[in-house]
């Protein structure tokens, strides 16, 4: 995983410069931003804002208090939350807790949902509550492990894993509903 590799590199070569931070993490931040933002313009704004916050705070980063990745992704997640709260069009109401149990193997669902195109997946992802979307974007967009996801959003690794599974279940239910 890219993040694990850069962890080794960056903790050995402190202090990290702004250029090194951008070189190592800008691509992941951009991918994350693309998954949590409603448009490409919003994604670019978010990526820039998040990296700018990180660069401006870089002098305050203390390696003894944790990895650079944990520190960075907390900043990125906070920037995403702030951006979301600024956007009134974020929908945070459709949470279907009753369908939170993943269906482990249902070939009919596999067949039906595998045929849904990326545009549908993107649309339904964008309609998830922002917290779900943040979790999924950190895990699958930025390719963080559950410990790192948890650190970014203020949860333990186990809690982050459970929350991410619930987010996945909600997304799956939405996709099935669309198909039906």
Partner 1 sequence: MTVDLLEKRLQELDVETPDAGRVSARVLAHRAPRPSRRRVSRLVSVPVAIALVVVLVVYFVPAADLAIADKAPWGGEVLQWAGLVGAKDRITVVNSSVSSSGYTLTLQGAYADSTRTVLLMHVDPLADLWINTSITDQFFRSYRMSGGSENLNTGDMSMQFEPLAWPDAITGARITLHVPQLETPSHETVAGTWELTATLGVDVAKSLRSPAPGDLGPAHFSFTSVSYTPATIEVDVHVTGASAEDLNRMVPGNGGKEGPALQIEMLDPNGQIVNGNGAGSGDNGATDFHVFGFRTGGGGNYVVRVSYYGYGSFDRVVSIPS
Binding region for partner 1 (CB under 8 A): 18-19, 22-23, 26-27, 29-31, 33-35, 40, 43-44, 47-48, 51-52, 55-56, 59, 102-106, 109-110, 112-114, 118, 121-122, 125, 136, 140-141, 143, 165, 168, 171-172, 175-176
Residues 132 and 129: their CA atoms lie apart, in Å, by 5
CB 125 to partner 1: min, Å: 8
CB 67 to partner 1: min, Å: 21
CB 23 to partner 1: min, Å: 7
Q: How many CB atoms lie within 10 A of CB 52?
A: 13
Which of 43/155 has CB closer to partner 1? 43
CB 27 to partner 1: min, Å: 4
Cis, peptide link before residue 15, omega less than 30° from 0: yes
Q: Which residue has 């520190």 as its token pair?
A: 71
Which of 26/95 has CB closer to partner 1? 26
CB distance 16 to 68 below 8 Å: yes
Q: Residue 15 has which token pair? A: 């202090």
Cβ contacts of 139 within 8 Å, gap of 6 or more = 146, 149, 164
Angle at 90 between CA 126 and CA 38, to 5 degrees: 45
Which of 7/22 has CB closer to partner 1? 22
End-to-end, the C-alpha distance of the chain in Å comes to 36
CB 102 to partner 1: min, Å: 5
Which of 22/95 has CB closer to partner 1? 22
């Amino acid at each position: 995983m890219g993040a694990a590799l850069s962890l080794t590199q960056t903790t050995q070569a402190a202090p990290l410069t702004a250029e090194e931070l951008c070189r190592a993490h800008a691509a992941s931040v951009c991918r994350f931003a693309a998954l949590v933002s409603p448009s490409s313009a919003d994604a670019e704004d978010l990526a820039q804002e998040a990296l700018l916050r990180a660069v401006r705070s870089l002098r305050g980063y203390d390696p003894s208090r944790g990895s650079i990745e944990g520190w960075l992704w907390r900043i990125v997640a906070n920037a995403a939350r702030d951006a979301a709260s600024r956007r009134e069009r974020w929908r945070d109401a459709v949470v279907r807790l009753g369908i939170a149990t993943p269906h482990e193997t249902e070939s009919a669902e596999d067949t039906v949902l595998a045929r849904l195109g990326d545009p549908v997946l993107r649309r339904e992802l964008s309609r998830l509550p922002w917290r779900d979307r943040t979790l999924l974007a950190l895990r699958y967009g930025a390719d963080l492990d559950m410990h790192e996801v948890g650190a970014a959003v203020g949860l333990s690794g186990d809690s982050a894993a459970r929350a991410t599974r619930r987010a996945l279940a909600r997304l799956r239910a939405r996709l099935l509903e669309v198909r039906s």
